[in-house]
Structure 1
Amino acid sequence: MRTLIALLSLSLSLFANADEKLKVVTSFSILADITQKIAGEKLELHNLVSPDADAHVYQPSAEDAKAVFAADLIIANGLGFEPWLQRLIASTEAPGTRVDASAGVVPLMLNEEGQRVADPHAWQSLANAEIYVRNISNALSQADPANAAYYAERSKAYIDQIHTLLGETRVRMTQLPEAQRTIITSHDAFSYLGQAYGLSFIAPQGLSTEDEPSAADVAALIRQIRSDEVRAVFVENIREPRLIQQIATEGGAMVGGTLYSDALASSGPASSYLGMFKHNIDTLLAALNP
């Protein structure tokens, strides 16, 4: 009888574990959306930095620390984007596996305060987004091999969507005149987009929104807007718009709309990664085309 009870208890335990969802933490909203598109309802997802929130100034909550400790998988961007994440993992002694979605991306190296540093905003390139999807899909499959085929099928469908949008965007961006390819944004988050389509993005702030621009930097940017006859400047959803509005007014340019840099929108078309990318292209073309 005791043997039968023990076997029954073991069977119930195995059944419960098989039925339990994978616990995954993502560092910010763009990774949360990509992960959810691949995994569907197969996981229990906790995202740290919310839509319309700034990952550069994020402060973890007690709930976030608890979720990180309980996670089977922690999906980060990497490339120095989340310096707070490794401290959070270390402080909670989280046993889960950390995966950097950007692994394999060839980073753009930019000048930042006299040093060459990697630009972490690699998701602004659709070609890099395919790398993100493959890395996340592989990590999910390794952590949850029972659903590996499911993740592979959904990631393939998602990559097909990326390829379709990539083809459409290449055609549309040829419409933009050479004279209107200098673009002003709040912080330096769009270099990968610029590299892909021959655009020059200039910002008063550096790679991190924590870097406050000097008065001299702002004045130089205003002079450049006037001399290059830049038509429009763009605010970002994660930044307070007053500085960009001031630069536009003094430079004689218009505010061309809102771009999504480091976070998705809380609602609307830009609340998904592919929707965000398409919104940014739509906004740029609407403001800069003759």
Structure 2
Amino acid sequence: MRKYLAPILLAATALTALPAAALAEPLKVVATFSIIGDMAKQVGGDRIDLSVLVGPNGDAHVYEPKPQDAARIGEADVVLSNGLKFEGFIDRLVEASGTKAPVVELTKGVTPIPAAEDEHGHAEAGHDDHKHAENEEGHEGEEHAEAGHEGHDHGAFDPHAFQSIPNAIIYVANIADAFCAADAAGCDSYKANAAAYTETLKALDAEVRADVAAVPAEKRTIITSHDAFGYFAKEYGITFLAPEGVSTEAEASAADVAKLIDQVREDKAAAVFVENVTNPRLIEQIAKETGLKVGGALYSDALSPADGPATTYVDLMRHNIRTIAGAVTGS
């Protein structure tokens, strides 16, 4: 009998010796889009079970939730959203899900900037005609949750706060606090991961500032598809002109485009760039009419797929500034 009991007792002893973290169920986390998903992964590590609603190259401005999205939120322990009305679908989706999980807005503590901050060179386009852009994720014809998209107001503030690395550091602190509140046993791990990631972001911030400093002042005006880079402009001193507003739903009129072309010629913009979440046609038209070259693709509201250059937030910011600097200086 002893020879049979010995292995059982040994196994039981080994189990009780395991740390609590190894026995705990992973924290179920839902992030609304890929950039937040990456930040959550950096803080949560292997203690979280992460689900991302709007994936790489996905546009959260026009995303239409699917029934399984409501189910995922309904099972979550924590839901992470950007806030500032970035995700027009989130309130209805949360209501449809019946979730009891906290919905944490990561822009808490960020100083928001107005949606049209002219001092930073954004085009004053009259974006009165809000239409739905084609959903590039190919969900046409699918049955959508009641929380589906019906057009939404993005409010008075620009929601793209993550385009400033100091703001991203605030996001990281908010994520760590949310995870600690939901999983006290893992708090030390979350805080340690957040601290290490914050140091990485501080180094990245210094790198971006150095890259911008290397760009001649007269070449720091560029054109992008929509006003996703207002916080980048304010933080780092590059002027972005855009024919569309802070949401990709806002379609620029012919008058908007003509006004922007005049402004480009007046301000002597250095290059134009397409974005990974928008149709390049309008930018290509502006490039043709102004004689500017298309300097490449910038990643605004989403990461790239696994085979792309911006699979993490750090890679995204590094790719964007290097693409801008390379295009306008010819290096």
Is the structural similarity TM-score above 0.5? yes
Aligned CA distance change for structure 1 residues 113 and 269 (closer, same or farther; 3 Å): closer
How many residues are paired up?
A: 276
The answer to whether structure 1 residue 25 and structure 2 residue 30 are counterparts is yes
Judge conservation of contact 1:25–1:46 (CA < 8 Å) in 2.
Answer: yes
Amino acid in the other structure paired with 1:61 = K
Distance 1:145 1:77, change over 3 A: same
Deviates more, 1:46-55 or 1:90-99: 90-99
- What is the alpha-carbon distance in structure 1 between the residues aligned to residue 165 and residue 60 of structure 2? 21
Match of 2:90 in 1: 85
Q: SS where residue 80 of structure 2 aligns?
A: strand
2:200 matched to which residue of 1? 161
For residue 159 of structure 1, give the secondary structure of its aligned residue in structure 2: helix
1:215 to partner: Cα distance: 0.3
CA distance in 2 between counterparts of 1:152 and 1:116 reads 33
Question: By percentage of residues, which structure has more strand?
Answer: 1
Compare relative contact order (CA 8 Å, sep 6+) and give the higher one, 1 or 2.
2
Following the alignment from structure 1 to structure 2, what is the Cα–Cα distance between the partners of residues 253 and 51?
Answer: 28
2:76 to 64, 71, 74: 71
What is the Cα deviation at residue 223 of structure 1?
2.0
| Cα contact 2:85–2:155 (8 A) shared by 1 | no
Residue 287 of structure 1 is matched in structure 2 by: 327
C-alpha distance in 1, partners of 2:264/2:24? 58
**Gaps in structure 2 of 5+ consecutive residues:** 1-19, 117-125, 129-153
The separation in 1 between residues aligned to 2:65 and 2:88, in whole angstroms, is: 12
TM-score, scaled to structure 2: 0.80
TM-superposed deviation, 1:182: 1.2
Q: Which residue number corresponds to residue 140 of structure 1?
A: 179
Percent of pairs with identical residues? 45
Displacement of 1:140 in angstroms is 0.4
Match for residue 141 of structure 2? none
Contact 1:225/1:253 (8 A) holds in 2: no
* Runs of at least 4 residues off by over 6 Å: none
- TM-score w.r.t. the length of structure 1 is 0.91
Select 1:184's aligned residue among 215, 223, 226: 223
Q: Which residue does 2:273 correspond to in 1?
A: 234
Q: 2:8 — aligned with what?
A: none
**Contact preservation (8 Å) 2:226, 2:243:** yes
The aligned residue for residue 106 of structure 1 is 111
- 1:254 partner letter: K
Gaps of 5+ in 1: 1-14
What's 1:246 paired with?
Answer: 285
Between structures 1 and 2, the one with greater helix share: 1
Match of residue 277 from structure 1:
317
Partner of 2:73, secondary structure, is: helix
Post-superposition CA distance 1:214-261 (Å, at most 9, x none): 001111112222233322100000111111011101111000010000
